Structure 1
Amino acid sequence: MSQKKAPYELPIGPIHPALKEPINFTFQMNGEVIEKVDFAPGRAHRGIEWMGMRRNPVQILHLCDRICGICGVHHALVFAQAVEQIADIEVPDRAYYVRTIIAEFERIQSHILWAGVAAHELGFDTLFYLAWQIREESVDVIEYITGNRVNYGIMMLGGTRRDITADMFPRLEQALQYYEGLLEKMVNLFLNDKTIAMRCKDTGILTKRRALELATVGPTSRASGLAMDVRIDSPYAAYGDLDFDIVLPDVYNSEGNGDVYDRIIVRIFEIKQSIDIIRQCMKQMPEGPVLAEEKYAKLLMNLKKASGEAFARVEAPRGEDMHYVRMNGKQEAPEMWKVKASTYSNQMAWVEILQGEQIADIPIIVASIDPCMSCTDRVAVVGQDGNAGIMTKEHLHRLSVEKTRRLQS
């Protein structure tokens, strides 16, 4: 009669080769099997919201680009949308298309970067190097459009700082054809490889029901069969003028288990989707300016007078990204600015998808939601003695209610 192994605790992080950003996991183990999961984020908070509420909205765009090095343009876009609602700024139609093109190129480079990281976590470093080599083309095009490979600085309140003109289209088309030619190879390497299939199928399963209950977003939720995409459910920029469908695992004849393999499927085929979207934008792009107000001083004057609050959201590469902005018409800086990034919604899925799995599967399961802790970490509490504290749910709620009453008084 076999004897049950004694449970033990396995800590991983906050710094670990399997983690690309600092986060601390604690696993309760029974042999090689995970019985219970706990994690503690909060080690990458940089005080960006605090800094933003001491700067004018144009300066905040600079900070938005730096919330995340991979999806910064989406943070800048959603913040711009919120402020444009408050200040009643009408964005030119052409700027909507420029915003959509740069957002989709960012999605391409982000998904390919994730694919490389996933390959590395599986120990397939040859595929890791190949994926990151392929990614260079998208980053080169982004640099061609914006002048930067990271922190693009293209978003502006009321439009974009730069245009994408017709004479630039051949370079964009060159990149799209490059990725079209590689799609079959990427599908073959990532989805038809027996080792990847054995490691990823039926691993880290998140059912459709649990994905909905845990309020997951983006590729993580779509891999579980939830047909949710902000670009279609609540169109912004030029997405309302375009024709495209939500990518679900059945696009590759998957049973849709919501496992790691399905998350690979969704991201690979969303690259194809982004190619189609960019092509439609180039074909349908209207004439006209890309900025509602070119005079910086006049824009700041109008923003200082703006009063009200707004909530905006976009479909970032990792999923729904939301910004809340409140302005009082008395000062340049927003009275309130809050960011809710995609990983904040997806990280609770870790508790679900890691239970019952083996130690060796921890790296790929953690990576499968494409986490970004720099986007996510929002609160750090340090007492006068320099020691970090713990904020209970009740304490946070009380502070929230008190602040609301102060703002209303």
Structure 2
Amino acid sequence: TVRPGAIHRGIEFMARDRNPIQVIYLSERICGICSFAHVVCFLRAVEDAASIPVPPRAQYIRALVLELERLHSHMLWAGVACYTIGFDSAFHLGMVLRERVMDVLEVLSGNRVNYGVATVGGVRWDVTAELSKTVKDMVKYYKREFSPFYDVVTADPIAKARLRDVGVLTYEEAIAHSAVGPTVRASGVRADLRESSPYEAYVDFGVKAVVPQDYYGKAYGDVFDRFLVRVHEVYQSLDIIEKVMEGLPEGDIMWEKNLNKVLAYLKKAEGTGMSSIEAPRGDDTHVVHLDGGDENVTWWKVRAPTYSNAVSWPLMFKDNELADSPLIINSIDPCISCMERMVVTDRSSGSEQIVTKNDLLKLCREKTGRVMGA
């Protein structure tokens, strides 16, 4: 039994005493890794409810930051996956690569996480000459240095032995259990909101869902395929970032710069808005209701992608060792507050044992040693 927490529901409750501008701060703190995905999703729901347009330049900048965030999220996941099986040299390579993305985000916003870039009807920071150069240099660096990381991991027989045929989720199971993001795509399902329901500037980029069969002829739906999907999405994000920088339109970056006017408009707005975007982990959905005459958010509902993917864990755990559980759990890139422990039950005696994530990590690394013959 996995015991997760749900801290974002407390954030939803706090939003009821705050106006949409103030809730931006809360929405960006649902998750530290995909904070921009959450704030953009929230803002799009508000903009939908209040019929607020977003300037084209702002849409492109939002797409830029979303893809930068996808890069650093996928690189963090790939690095941690290597660390989990004891492949520390690959973990180091992954973290070095991720640092270059974090540098770009710091140049853009001054922050490495929780960037404070997005606002109602646009973005707060524009693309400067310095940022443009930093982004282009980062793309060149990745095109030169990312392939060696990919080759090191995929060519290593121990890494493949630890990841292949572990935590399998079939095509049919992924659909039946409503998996999202890299998890569902690794099972061979072509599902990516940037393709099926393009938003912001993605309508101009022609994004295609990354699925294993397009690259390797077959989808196994295992942890290794989840690794491969994220790896190829890194290449895809680099292509999108280049398209953003090449096609960045001129114009305003905000619908209205005066926040007092924005708040006055929102206070009169009445309606329910919904937004779904392709966050690094998958389909992120926010629903917001505004009640005319009250400047505060009436109610706000968030469905993070982990809630869609976690229900597939029991299927992934089937016929696998306990030592594989850290890989299986991490393979969906879970973002669940307080997910610190598991309860292991002995069916014959009914006794229970609390297993911490450190215990599981130790078991996982010990299995790698056995595979290596150490």
TM over 0.5: yes
- Partner residue, 1:288: 251
The one of 131, 153, 156 aligned to 2:119: 156
2:327 aligned with 1:368: no
2:268 aligned with 1:305: yes
1:37-76 deviation per Cα after TM superposition (whole angstroms, max 9, x unaligned):
x322126557111111111101111111111000000000
- Partner residue, 1:240: 203
- Partner residue, 2:157: 194
- Partner residue, 1:263: 226
- Partner residue, 2:58: 95
- Partner residue, 1:112: 75
Name the CA distance, whole Å, in 2 between partners of 1:317 and 1:185: 23
Whether the 8 Å contact between 1:216 and 1:349 is mirrored in structure 2 is yes
Closer, same or farther in 2 for the Cα pair 1:68/1:346, shift >3 Å? same
2:189 aligned with 1:226: yes
Whether the 8 Å contact between 1:343 and 1:375 is mirrored in structure 2 is no
Whether the 8 Å contact between 1:65 and 1:75 is mirrored in structure 2 is yes
Whether the 8 Å contact between 2:194 and 2:207 is mirrored in structure 1 is no
2:22 aligned with 1:59: yes
2:99 aligned with 1:136: yes
Whether the 8 Å contact between 2:192 and 2:208 is mirrored in structure 1 is no
**Structure 1 counterpart of 2:232, which letter?**
F
Aligned-pair identity in percent equals 44
Name the CA distance, whole Å, in 2 between partners of 1:44 and 1:357: 30
Q: 1:168-179 residue pairs with structure 2 within 5 A?
A: 168-179=131-142
2:282 aligned with 1:319: yes
Instruction: Give the TM-score taking structure 2 as reference length.
Output: 0.88
2:175 aligned with 1:203: no
- Partner residue, 1:77: 40
- Partner residue, 1:12: none
Unaligned runs of 5+ in 2: 340-374
Detail structure 1 runs of 4+ shifted over 3 Å in the superposition: 43-46
- Partner residue, 2:319: 356
Number of aligned residue pairs: 339
Whether the 8 Å contact between 2:49 and 2:274 is mirrored in structure 1 is no
1:298-319 deviation per Cα after TM superposition (whole angstroms, max 9, x unaligned):
0000001110001111100000
Whether the 8 Å contact between 2:306 and 2:335 is mirrored in structure 1 is yes
Whether the 8 Å contact between 1:200 and 1:261 is mirrored in structure 2 is yes
Q: CA deviation at 1:167?
A: 5.0
The one of 221, 239, 252 aligned to 2:215: 252
Q: CA deviation at 1:96?
A: 0.3
Name the CA distance, whole Å, in 2 between partners of 1:67 and 1:192: 36
Q: CA deviation at 1:165?
A: 3.3
SS of corresponding position for 2:2 = strand
Closer, same or farther in 2 for the Cα pair 1:153/1:41, shift >3 Å? same
Closer, same or farther in 2 for the Cα pair 1:229/1:283, shift >3 Å? same
Q: CA deviation at 1:213?
A: 0.3
CA RMSD of aligned residues (A): 1.5
- Partner residue, 1:341: 304
Q: CA deviation at 1:130?
A: 2.1
1:52-104 deviation per Cα after TM superposition (whole angstroms, max 9, x unaligned):
11111011111111110000000000110011111111110100000000000
Q: CA deviation at 1:372?
A: 0.3
**Structure 1 counterpart of 2:202, which letter?**
Y
Whether the 8 Å contact between 1:190 and 1:264 is mirrored in structure 2 is no
Closer, same or farther in 2 for the Cα pair 1:105/1:221, shift >3 Å? same
2:315 aligned with 1:328: no
Which stretch of structure 1 is more off in the superposition, 90-99 or 326-335? 326-335
Name the CA distance, whole Å, in 1 between partners of 2:311 and 2:149: 30
Name the CA distance, whole Å, in 1 between partners of 2:21 and 2:8: 22
Q: 1 or 2, which has the higher helix percentage?
A: 2
Q: CA deviation at 1:250?
A: 2.6
Closer, same or farther in 2 for the Cα pair 1:174/1:80, shift >3 Å? same
Q: CA deviation at 1:112?
A: 0.2
**Structure 1 counterpart of 2:204, which letter?**
D
SS of corresponding position for 1:311 = strand
Q: CA deviation at 1:243?
A: 2.8
Name the CA distance, whole Å, in 1 between partners of 2:329 and 2:156: 21
**Structure 2 counterpart of 1:362, which letter?**
S
**Structure 1 counterpart of 2:293, which letter?**
K
Whether the 8 Å contact between 2:5 and 2:337 is mirrored in structure 1 is no
Name the CA distance, whole Å, in 1 between partners of 2:338 and 2:13: 14
1:362-409 deviation per Cα after TM superposition (whole angstroms, max 9, x unaligned):
111111010000399xxxxxxxxxxxxxxxxxxxxxxxxxxxxxxxxx
